[in-house]
Amino acid sequence: MEKLVLVDGNSIMNRAFYGIMGSKMLTTKDGKYTNAVYGFLAILFKLLEDVKPEYMAVAFDLKAPTARHKMYEGYKANRKGMPEELAEQMPVIKEVLKAMNIEIIEKEGYEADDILGTLSRFGEKQGKEVTILSGDRDTFQLATDNVMIRIPRTKGGKTETEIYDRKKIEENYGIEPKQLIEVKGLQGDTSDNIPGVPGIGEKTALSLIQKYGTIDNLYKELDAGDPSIKGKQRENLENNKNLAELSRTLGTINIEVPLDETLEKLKIKEWNKKEVLDIFKRLNFKRYIDRFNLEDGNDATSQNISNELQDNLFEVKMKTVQEVKEIIKNQKRMIFYLETVNDNNDEKIINEKIQSLSIYNKEENEVYSIDLKKEEDILEFKDVFENEKIEKIGTHFSKIYIMLKQVGIEIKGIYFDAKIAGYILDSTNNKLSTEDLAEQYLNIDLEQYFKSEKQEQMNLFDQMTEKAEEKEENDKEKKGNFYAYIFAKLEEIMTKKLEEMNAVSLYRDIEIPTVTVLSQMQWNGMYVNKEKLEQFGNELKEKLEEKTKIIYELAGEEFNINSTKQLGEILFEKMKLPVIKKTKSGYSTDVDVLEKLKREDPIIGQILDYRQLMKLNSTYIEGLKPYINKKTGRIHSFFHQTITATGRISSTEPNLQNIPTRFELGKQVRKVFEPEQGKVYIDADYSQIELRVLAHMSGDKHMLEAFKNNEDIHKQAASKVFKTPIDQVTKEQRSNAKAVNFGIVYGISDFGLGEQLGISRKLAKKYIDEYLEEYSGIKEYMGNIIEKAKKDGYVETIFHRRRYIPELSSKNYMVRQFGSRAAMNTPIQGTAADIMKIAMIKVYRELKNRGIEAKIVLQVHDEMMIEAPEKEIEEVKGILKECMESATTLDVPLIAEISVADNWYDCK
């Protein structure tokens, strides 16, 4: 039977838009949003692949009112307008569909559902099997034996479809598809503002239609005095018959729309390839260009790789460990993948153990799979892993470093890390797994590939336990083999792209060496004095008890301070404090609200203190305890270099960079971090590095002069902004000027500065304007960098770290403002981050070269901390100062301030 596919255009675009949002929506280089178009096509191509239809049409809504709007003024009245970012993509998807020669149908006065309903009946009468693709379950009423509904749903980041035909709907709901119209008449539909009968919900409506069949039959029985319907339910039904009938009419899909469609018009035709190619190039849909081989004579590497995978062109060869090692040593390259399993051993820094090793020989196009019966078997490759002259190619080397270190191997010669390369190529891309990178750069859906491979081979294995286990091991081995092969291909393509971006030096000389430094920092860890941690926790609990008593006294009763509902009732109902903000669930008591109420009543200050104490105890006392390694007594935080868009290093599990410093009690958490006995912490902090970078990049004469002459930059700024001789600048003026100085770096607004300094927006604007008038070089630089970002689509650091900023082209003012701040801030903060990484690499290498005990244990923004024996203090201080101050050459000097202490709190 021939097949007809009908697509609900608005519904699928809407689903695709919200399905591909996340932290970074897809955009073109000029900032036009494409996530809905991309997602729509992904769903469409999957549908075409599954169904293989001969005929197709896509229906869209028009803005004009429909018969339903004329019938009931409130119809869809509660619907919010389409988001601007989605609205701008609607003409684009229509342009794509037209280029693909897919019939688009719209009709004034009718909704897309009505067009789908009419065409489904038309197709059925023509003897076709009809599939309707929609995210709207209202279409279930159209299901028959020959009309099925596909509803896309997202599961685990992948879009799948649920298929509903007459049989499945009857099984699920206990009624025929067309009876769902009757259910809607009783239940109504809040999304379309269809009223229904008050007090009748989905379950009740369904049970009534299961019993009576239709609304008409229900009212007949009601009029006849059916005793089973009584009380409030009866009253609601009797008083709202007109609403039930109106709602049924509103919810009924019209299957008699006057259309002049013919099967010939709906027949699937050849694409206009050149037109589709031009559009896909404009939209940056490289994956689709490669997938459908749209470029003439397309020999794209990704297409070749995809073919190789499908055809299994590489061979899996059985070789001994010694033979494999000889090949690696001769080629001086090791392209590999380590298969691991979770060990659940809390004594380890990473709770996984190595299970197998897959190695790809690029010269012979062969893969060797080494099964490691015991974790220690990997030690046979110790000499290869520790040979710096052998280039190591793979991914996630920060994890590999620790795993190998745990079995006594220190990996050297890290050459290509696919995850790091992906980050450098697009610093706002958070999809950096092997599967993600293979899809982005090689046009390979590994998950789908393995899934289809598994399905094809299922009949080769018995379903007995032993065979199932054997198959699972076989699958893991095969996956590892493919990954090893994929890393070789990723290195090929991604290296070319790094060259095009002029980012090879950033990658090779800064990012790759940083992997080792951060991994070793994680391995080193920071010792925690458990006794002091417990003691501090007890102090916090005592303070919490004191605060609780004070709050109860001020409130006049006891209540749950942690309950937003109860706190709101006390503050706004009992104490009659002014209501600042309300939410769906009641009164808002968030920090912003409480800060605005501080002057209204002393209880507010106490509640804010209480919350700080609670957070300190839960996050930094109880929260730190599980991370203390039982074997080492240290916290081994994970340090990441692929999280922030600016290149800054971040920390998790736990986040040691986030320990409070702005209030004294929070800062005291640092006292529990101590070096080993006989050792000290040596801390080095870059002095005003971001302002020094700003001076260098802007070339502003006043700022350059201040740093070259070792003047107090904040005093100088205060003197110029407040027109005061430098020796008469007050502490308050300096503090305000400091806020402006750093605010300029972060693209602060007059509103933001006003909030920070507690002054009016007008006065804050005056400060900023005065500052930019005096520091005209900075003003010019800021304007130029935004214009350049608009033109190029990105900004760069001194070391060519790139950040794409499509937000600058957004039609949304707030999004554009974010883009402007990112354009101003990224080159400065990113360059400072690059300099810190260079300094860390230099310090790490110098400590190793001198063979001394000192080791880097922490990095927080502009600060690096070393744990060193007391006898090495002077030598390490010298190394830190020399390496940090010579990390790079700017037009102003880099200054590192060094301090020595017996705990982290006393540093600096």
| DSSP letters for 388-438 | TTSEEEES-HHHHHHHHHHTT-----EEEEHHHHHHHH-TT----SHHHHH
| Residue 462: predicted pLDDT | 39
Q: d(Cα 33, Cα 14) in Å, to the nearest integer?
A: 13
Cα 276–282–288 angle (5° rounding)? Answer: 50
Q: Which two tokens stand for residue 182?
A: 């009757």
Q: What is Dmax (Cα atoms) for the chain?
A: 101
Mean pLDDT of 263-288: 89
pLDDT band at residue 636 under the 50/70/90 scheme: very high
User: CA torsion angle for 582, 586, 590, 596 (degrees, to 10)?
Assistant: 50
CA–CA distance from 443 to each of 49, 93, 394, 725 (Å)? 17, 22, 18, 64
Mean pLDDT of 59-67: 82
- Burial class for 862, CB neighbours closer than 10 Å (0-12, 13-18, 19+): buried
In the predicted model, what is the mean pLDDT of the chain? Answer: 87
Contact 793, 29 (CB under 8 A): yes
Tell me which H or E stretch contains 751: helix 750-757
Q: What is the pLDDT of residues 7-32, one digit of tens each?
A: 999 999 988 888 765 445 677 766 78
**Secondary structure of residue 686 in the 3-state scheme:** strand
Question: pTM of the full predicted structure?
Answer: 0.75
Mean pLDDT of 590-611: 90
Residue 19 amino acid letter: G
| Residue 304: predicted pLDDT | 52
| Residue 319: predicted pLDDT | 87
Asked if the model's pLDDT at residue 456 lies above 70, the reply is: no
Q: Which two tokens stand for residue 548?
A: 């609780």
Most confident of 212-226, 744-758, 768-782, 866-880: 866-880
Q: d(Cα 385, Cα 413) in Å, to the nearest integer?
A: 8
Q: Considering the chain, what percentage of its residues have pLDDT values greater than 70?
A: 92
Q: Which two tokens stand for residue 181?
A: 């119209």
| Residue 755: predicted pLDDT | 78
pLDDT band at residue 477 under the 50/70/90 scheme: low
**Secondary structure of residue 303 in the 3-state scheme:** helix
The answer, yes or no, to whether the previous bond of 83 is cis (omega within 30 of 0) is no
Of 409 and 77, the structure prediction assigns the larger pLDDT to: 409
Q: What is the pLDDT of residues 376-416, one digit of tens each?
A: 889 999 999 999 999 999 999 999 999 999 999 999 999 99
Report DSSP state, residue 103.
E
Going 564 to 565 to 567 to 569, the CA torsion angle's sign is positive
Q: What is the pLDDT of residues 780-823, one digit of tens each?
A: 999 999 999 999 989 999 999 999 998 888 877 888 888 998 99
| Residue 307: predicted pLDDT | 53
Contact 176, 157 (CB under 8 A): no
Asked if the model's pLDDT at residue 461 lies above 50, the reply is: no
> How many Cβ atoms sit within 10 Å of the Cβ of residue 375?
17
> How many Cβ atoms sit within 10 Å of the Cβ of residue 306?
19
CA–CA distance from 787 to each of 55, 777, 819, 822 (Å)? 48, 15, 11, 13
Query: Can you point out the beta strands (E) in 192-323?
Result: 315-317
Report DSSP state, residue 105.
E
Asked if the model's pLDDT at residue 329 lies above 90, the reply is: yes
Question: Phi/psi of residue 182, each to 5°?
Answer: -65, -40
Contact 828, 820 (CB under 8 A): no
Residue 374 amino acid letter: K
Q: Considering the chain, what percentage of its residues have pLDDT values greater than 90?
A: 50
| Residue 599: predicted pLDDT | 86
Question: Phi/psi of residue 814, each to 5°?
Answer: -65, -40
Rg value, the chain, Cα:
33
Q: d(Cα 560, Cα 556) in Å, to the nearest integer?
A: 13
| Residue 651: predicted pLDDT | 92
Cβ-count burial 714-750 (b if 16+ within 10 Å, e if not): bbbbbbbbbeeeeeebeeebbebbbbbbbbbbebbbb
12: closest CA among 113, 95, 80? 113
34: closest CA among 104, 80, 93, 100? 93
| Relative orientation angle of helices 731-745 and 713-721, to the nearest 10 degrees | 100
pLDDT band at residue 744 under the 50/70/90 scheme: confident
Mean pLDDT of 256-274: 89
Q: Which two tokens stand for residue 664?
A: 């004294």
| Residue 468: predicted pLDDT | 42
Q: What is the pLDDT of residues 297-310, one digit of tens each?
A: 444 444 455 555 54
Q: d(Cα 639, Cα 859) in Å, to the nearest integer?
A: 9
Q: For residue 561, give every residue at least 6 positions away whose Cβ sits within 8 Å of its Cβ, in sequence order, or none.
A: 548, 551, 567, 607, 610
Asked if the model's pLDDT at residue 155 lies above 80, the reply is: no
Asked if the model's pLDDT at residue 453 lies above 60, the reply is: no
Asked if the model's pLDDT at residue 473 lies above 60, the reply is: no
Q: Which two tokens stand for residue 131?
A: 């599939």
Asked if the model's pLDDT at residue 466 lies above 60, the reply is: no
Cα 836–840–844 angle (5° rounding)? Answer: 175
User: CA torsion angle for 756, 760, 762, 768 (degrees, to 10)?
Assistant: -20
**Secondary structure of residue 309 in the 3-state scheme:** helix
| Residue 683: predicted pLDDT | 96
Asked if the model's pLDDT at residue 246 lies above 70, the reply is: yes
The single residue listed with the structure tokens 């450098």 is 424
pLDDT band at residue 469 under the 50/70/90 scheme: very low
Q: For residue 418, give every residue at least 6 positions away whose Cβ sits within 8 Å of its Cβ, in sequence order, or none.
A: 394, 395, 432, 434, 437, 487, 490, 491, 494
pLDDT band at residue 153 under the 50/70/90 scheme: confident
| Residue 474: predicted pLDDT | 53
